[in-house]
Amino acid sequence: MSQRTKSLKKFREMDDAASVREEADLRSGIWKMKVQRSTGQATDTLKIVEARRDLARLLTIRRQREGKAS
Which tens digit of pLDDT belongs to each residue from 27-55?
999 999 999 999 999 888 899 999 999 99
Is 8 part of any domain?
Answer: no
Is 5 part of any domain?
Answer: no
Is 37 part of any domain?
Answer: yes
Is 2 part of any domain?
Answer: no
Residues 24 and 54: their CA atoms lie apart, in Å, by 12
CA 62-67-70 angle, to 5 degrees, is 125
Is 9 part of any domain?
Answer: no
The model's pTM is: 0.88
Is 52 part of any domain?
Answer: yes
Is 11 part of any domain?
Answer: no
Total domains in the fold of the chain: 1
- 24, 51 Cβ separation under 8 angstroms: no
Residues 70 and 60: their CA atoms lie apart, in Å, by 16
Domain limits for position 33:
16-69
